[in-house]
Amino acid sequence: MTQTIEELFQENKVPKFRLKQLQHAIYKDLITDYDEISTFPQWLKDKIKEAKIPLTTMELIESHRSGNTVKFVLKTHDGHFIESVLIEHKDERKTVCVSCQVFCAVGCKFCATGANQYRRNLTTEEIVEQVLFVSRYLKHQEVRVTNVVYMGMGEPFLTYKPVSESLLMLNSPDYFNIGARHIVVSTSGIVPRIYDYAEIGIQAKLAISLHAPNQKLRSEMMPISDRYPLDDLMKACDYFVEKTGKRISYEYVLIGNVNDQIEHARELVELLIDRKAHVNLLVYNPHEFADYKMPMEKDVIAFRNYLKTRGIEVTIRKSMGDDISGACGQLSGKQLDKKKNKAVFAQREFFDGDLEIKDKSKSPAKA
Ligand code: SAH
Ligand code: SF4
């Protein structure tokens, strides 16, 4: 097995401050080769290179741009492919959507990630490295990653330790210095971890994949709701808000004729009206693993308007830049497949308009 850098430093009696310099070179200067470390003597660089210690545990296989979105396919040391997504917003924001597991064991019925067999949790380093690879990609533009969302492959609250550690590293001035308010963890509702997250000590945000306004429908769409029923989930959310003062973002994927009717909107208003909530409506992204349909555009607009006129803050993920959850629901850890990408981006174009004022009641969108 390859030596670690710590072992090599110990063996060669390298003083501790060199580790700090290395950390700076990797996370601040974003070096891609040890030769670029300006603070290291040549003999030390040669020693590290001789020992063949890799700079990162993962390898970038490909990056693929479509409009404002760039997908990165990374290969782990044990041969798994994972995906991260960069969204370059129209404003200054550069958001990275990170994965935390290789596939997911939760098995939500509408999700491509969940349809594949769960393999393993990613390590803290593997989560942080995803932001590192994207940062390197952005280096030539002289811009930095500003936001990170845990909305890629996997359920963050089923792998809490690496997720919370990576989150603190992303926030730390020694690493990426990303403002806690610009970090969002999204969960399908692993109740005990919501209580833990409320105590994490930094102002990171919480998104809940709600997707249904009542226990029965939620259970049908998300079997995890049998284990952690909606009532318990809402109690945990109330605790989070009370403890942190932060508003929660509720994700609601509109699926044609499943949860997209006015009766569902009515129930959703009842559930959220007295809560500090923001609703993010996503449009179902069709994929090969499920039989669901996209909603009609007129139903999406009616749903949004119903919530809005009753005082619920609501947005539709409409532009390429904002449309990350839908894309993330499609992550299947394979190298990119043109057909699948087409479905993702077709949906983005569909909602890349100003839905605030237009209600053209178009025909159903095609994938
Ligand atoms: N596992 C976490 C993090 C993933 S976030 C969670 O579920 O919250 C990805 C978001 O995309 C979630 O809100 C998820 O429910 C949603 N999603 C999954 N499949 C989707 C699909 N086919 N179309 C649109 N959104 C989807
Ligand atoms: Fe897992 Fe989230 Fe997909 Fe559900 S929606 S299967 S929790 S990745």
Q: Is the pLDDT of residue 144 over 80?
A: yes
Q: Is 83 a catalytic residue?
A: yes
Mutate to test the pocket of ligand 1, among 97, 103, 106, 110 (most ligand atoms within 8 A of CB): 110
pLDDT of residue 330: 59
Q: Which of 213, 186, 210 is nearest to 197 (CA)?
A: 186
Average pLDDT over residues 4-29: 96
Q: Do the two domains 1-55 and 58-355 of this chain adopt the same fold?
A: no
Average pLDDT over residues 257-277: 97
Average pLDDT over residues 126-151: 97
Residue 114 in contact with ligand 2 by CB distance below 6 A: yes
Q: Could you tell me which residue, 356 or 56, shows the higher pLDDT?
A: 56
Q: Is the pLDDT of residue 129 over 70?
A: yes
Q: Which CATH number fits domain 1-55: 3.30.70, 1.10.150, 1.25.40, 1.10.10?
A: 1.10.150
Average pLDDT over residues 284-294: 91
For the chain, the farthest-separated pair of C-alpha atoms sits apart, in whole angstroms, at 71
CATH code of 58-355, in short, is 3.20.20.70
Ligand 1 pocket, Cβ-based, cut-off 6 angstroms: 104, 108, 110-111, 151, 155, 186-188, 209, 251, 253, 282, 284-285, 287, 325-326, 328-329
Q: Is the pLDDT of residue 335 over 50?
A: no
**Contact at 8 Å (CB) between 55 and 61?**
no
Q: Is the pLDDT of residue 360 over 90?
A: no
Report the share of the chain in percent with pLDDT over 70.
Answer: 86
Map out the domains of the chain as residue ranges. 1-55, 58-355
Alpha helices in the chain (DSSP H): 5-11, 17-27, 42-50, 112-115, 124-139, 160-171, 191-197, 215-221, 224-227, 230-244, 262-272, 297-309, 324-328, 338-350
pLDDT confidence tier of residue 341, bands split at 50, 70 and 90: very low
pLDDT confidence tier of residue 349, bands split at 50, 70 and 90: very low
Spatial separation of the C-alpha atoms in residues 121 and 155, rounded to whole Å: 9
Q: Is 328 a catalytic residue?
A: yes
- Ligand 2 atom closest to the CA of 222, numbered from 1: 4
pLDDT confidence tier of residue 114, bands split at 50, 70 and 90: confident
Return the residue matching tokens 């030596």: 3
pLDDT of residue 342: 38
Spatial separation of the C-alpha atoms in residues 222 and 231, rounded to whole Å: 15
pLDDT of residue 317: 81
Q: Residue 249 Cα, ligand 1 centroid: separation in angstroms?
A: 13
pTM to 2 decimal places = 0.90
**Contact at 8 Å (CB) between 154 and 100?**
yes
